Amino acid sequence: MEYIVIIGNGISGVTAARHIRKLSNKKITIISAETDHFFSRTALMYIYMGHMTYENTKPYEDWFWKKNKINLKKGFVKTIETKSKMLHFSNGETLLYDKLIIATGSKSNKFGWPGQDLNGVQGLYSKQDLDNLEVYAPDDKTCQHAVIVGGGLIGIELAEMLHSRDIPVTFLVREESFWNTILPEGESSMVNRHINNHNINLRLGANLQEIQGDESGKVKSIIVKETKEEIHCDFVGLTAGVSPNIDVVKSSNIETHKGVLVNSYLETSIQDIYAIGDCAEQREPIGHRRAIEAV
């Protein structure tokens, strides 16, 4: 029986597994180092704000996977050996596949800022990011001030999350007005006023220069590039967009650019290996259904 292995249990990987199961009786395993079960990533903010629990964010009951003969494996894939069709895990385990689907999603952007890997500095993408928020920004006593860098959707969500726990926030946005590349001037100005009226210190036309840490390796302040101002903080949210998460592929002979390069069938440069979702970069327009049928 042909063995399909999927790296990544996000929406792309799980959707692929479900459709393959509808079309065939092939053996399927989904691998994830993040969580045991697929969950709704966009609901992370509601867990932190107390509106939902992690259990509420799972679209499928735990029995769904066994019933549909989809095996879930918790583990971190370190390398892909394409010639032998073998995956190597960080704990020393290995796993053979007949066909492999890479669905590793995105990761928060880091642009080489000094101090970007300090404790208390993170994005908001994974379940681990949410867990770390509870460590470094659980309340306004542990985190007396937070700085958010980047004015995208995740940035404004993180600002709302921290504000819900009464944590003072400084919000660095490089544009001269919030979302002014998307919204008309009047609407953008209205959003600026709304953010400030909720006691979030919106700093427009401001970029991060560096993040400074204390002796223990934890963030203590940031420096604003334009003014050289030092802002003391206990937490820094890096929300300046995301990029394809292709770390597991870089050591292999699978061709990449910004993402894993695929053709219109979502095939990579290596036979029997596919890439889908945020980690994939199209060489040409893709046909999703044809790709699933090809697997």
Give tens-digit pLDDT for 201-217.
999 999 999 999 999 99
Note whether 219 and 120 are within 8 A (CB): yes
* Parallel/antiparallel/unpaired status of strands 219-224 and 230-232: antiparallel
Evaluate if residue 252 carries a pLDDT over 60: yes
**pLDDT band of 290, cuts 50, 70, 90:** low
Query: Higher pLDDT residue, 176 or 287?
Result: 176
Rounded-to-integer distance, Cα 77 and Cα 126, Å? 16
Q: Are the folds of 3-105+245-294 and 109-242 the same?
A: yes
What is the structure's pLDDT at 1?
Answer: 83
Evaluate if residue 94 carries a pLDDT over 60: yes
| 268-285 mean pLDDT | 94
Rounded-to-integer distance, Cα 190 and Cα 167, Å? 23
Q: 20: closest CA among 213, 216, 276?
A: 276
Q: How many CB atoms lie within 10 A of CB 28?
A: 24
Domain 3-105+245-294 falls under CATH 3.50.50.60: yes
Note whether 109 and 12 are within 8 A (CB): no
* pLDDT-above-90 percentage for the chain: 94
- Six token digits for residue 261: 């390069």
Torsion of CA 53, 56, 59, 63, to 10 degrees: 100
Domain limits of the chain? 3-105+245-294, 109-242
What is the structure's pLDDT at 288?
Answer: 55
Dihedral (CA of 265, 267, 273, 276) sign: negative
- Fold for 109-242, please state it: FAD/NAD(P)-binding domain (3.50.50)
**Phi, psi dihedral angles at 54 (to 5 degrees):** -55, -40
Note whether 20 and 98 are within 8 A (CB): no
pTM above 0.75, yes or no: yes
Q: How many CB atoms lie within 10 A of CB 177?
A: 18
Note whether 94 and 193 are within 8 A (CB): no
Mean pLDDT: which of 97-101, 195-199, 285-289 is highest? Answer: 97-101
